[in-house]
Structure 1
Amino acid sequence: MEGLGVSSVQHLQALSSLLSTQHGDEGDEGDEDCKKGTAHAGLGPGHIGPPPKRDKQASTSREKKNNKDIWSEEEVAEGSQYDDLADPRPQPEYEILLKQSVGTEDLFLGLNRKDPSSMCCEAMLVKIKLPDTEATDVVLDVKEKFLDLRTPKYKLGLHLPHPTHSHGGTARFFPESGALEVTLLFKRPMDEINMP
């Protein structure tokens, strides 16, 4: 056991001398670097290759954020001024469906170049479940990107996924099922996909 301990000590000393003589050309400078801990100890995988370039746009965006504003205008959703967080009424269940008018010429011949994607849809159907509610109790206000619905039992402030024509939609209430269906027309620029 003692012999094994001495041999391992000798191996450690040989390894130490091998590592310390690796900087033999540098002489005492290598020993000073080792003592200071600066000789290659601070290098890592991030030091491989050319140094990273600084982006001027990133520095200007930081300068803009250093002002005293809490949020930028892009972070505030349109219609957030209508949100009423103090109102304890629950939000009803709702569903948003996209609609498009398709004729036989579209289905069989593809003359209008419509496809099932959302880019070819003309309207949005919002189905809202309002159990135990009368049609006269419903107050509905539609903005370009916000739908506001109030009843004595429910409230719904819905940020719409697409801009809509606020005056071109229709609303229909079904008293037997207690459901309200609101159809809103999309506000999109006319191009070769969105043709009238």
Structure 2
Amino acid sequence: MECLGVSSAQSLQALSALLSTQQDDDDEDCKNVTACARLGPGHIGPQPRKDEEASTAYMKKNHKDIWSEEEVAEGSQYDDLADPRPQPEYEIILKQSVGTEDLFLGLSRKDPSSMCCEAMLVKIKLPDTKATDVVLDIKEKFLDLRTPKYKLGLHLPHPVHSHEGKAQFFSEREELEVTMLMKRPMDFINMQ
């Protein structure tokens, strides 16, 4: 056992001597390095001036603003975490006008995808609610529904025309159906 201990101690001393001399060589090499070899990625290109401010892409219009209007999601003003009213059940259905020429002949190049839909139907179940109790507000990407018993703040999957649409309340089913026309800015490209 002692034989192993002596040889391993000698091995450690030899390794230590080897490493210490290698560090000395590295120190000498570092002293002889030219200035160009010490440059890093941050030295590429013109040096920034100290008096310039940050990039204008991140500057705010008003220095007291925390965020801009574009950064705030539409409908976030309706989110009320302290409101105890439950969210009603709802279903979103995308609709498209299809004729026999579309179904059998495929002349208009419509397919079952959401890109070919013209309207969005939202069915909202409102048990124990009267039509007069419903307050409905529709924005381009947000539907806000308030009743004495329920509240629904729904971010819509596609932008809609907020002033074109209809809502119908069915008392026998206790259900509100809201039909909204979808905004399709690229239809002239997609549907030709």
TM range (shorter): 0.7 to 0.9
Matched, 1:60 2:50: no
Matched, 1:144 2:145: no
Higher strand share: 2
2:99 aligned residue? 103
- Scaled by the length of structure 1, the TM-score of the pair is 0.72
Aligned to 2:127, which of 119, 127, 131?
131
Contact 2:142 / 2:153 at 8 angstroms: preserved in 1? Answer: yes
Distance in 2 between residues matched to 1:104 and 1:165, nearest whole Å: 27
Q: Tell me, in whole angstroms, the C-alpha distance in 1 between the residues paired with 2:82 and 2:27.
A: 74
CA pair 165-27 structure 1, distance change in 2 beyond 3 A: closer
Alignment of 1:103-182 (within 5 A): 103-182=99-178
* Aligned residue in 1 for 2:188: 191
- In structure 1, stretches of 5+ residues that fail to align are 34-49
Partner residue in 2 for 1:4: 4
Gaps of 5+ in 2: 32-39, 49-53
CA contact (8 A) 1:94 1:128 kept: yes
Q: CA deviation at 1:27?
A: 8.4
Shift of 1:130: 0.5
Once the two structures are TM-superposed, the CA of residue 113 in structure 1 deviates from its matched residue by 1.0
Paired residues in the alignment total 174
**TM-superposed deviation, 1:74:** 3.0
Structure 2 residue matching 1:184: 3-state secondary structure: strand
In 2, Cα distance between the equivalents of 1:11 and 1:98? Answer: 78
CA distance in structure 2 between the partners assigned to 1:51 and 1:143 by the alignment:
49
**Partner Cα distance (1:27, 1:137) in 2:** 83
Moved more, 166-175 or 179-188: 166-175
Question: What CA deviation, in whole Å up to 9, does each residue of 1:34-55 have, x standing for no partner?
Answer: xxxxxxxxxxxxxxxx83779x
Q: What secondary structure does 2:123 align onto?
A: strand
Shift of 1:175: 2.0
RMSD: 3.2
Distance 1:167 1:73 in 2: 22
Deviation at 1:97, TM superposition (A): 1.7
TM-score (norm 2): 0.73
Q: Specify whether residues 81 and 104 from structure 1 end up closer, same or farther in structure 2 by C-alpha distance, changes over 3 A only.
A: same
Residue-by-residue CA offset, 1:156-175 (whole Å, 9 max, x unaligned): 22232322222321222222
Judged with a 3 Å threshold, the aligned counterparts in structure 2 of structure 1 residues 3 and 67 are, in CA distance, closer, same or farther, namely: farther
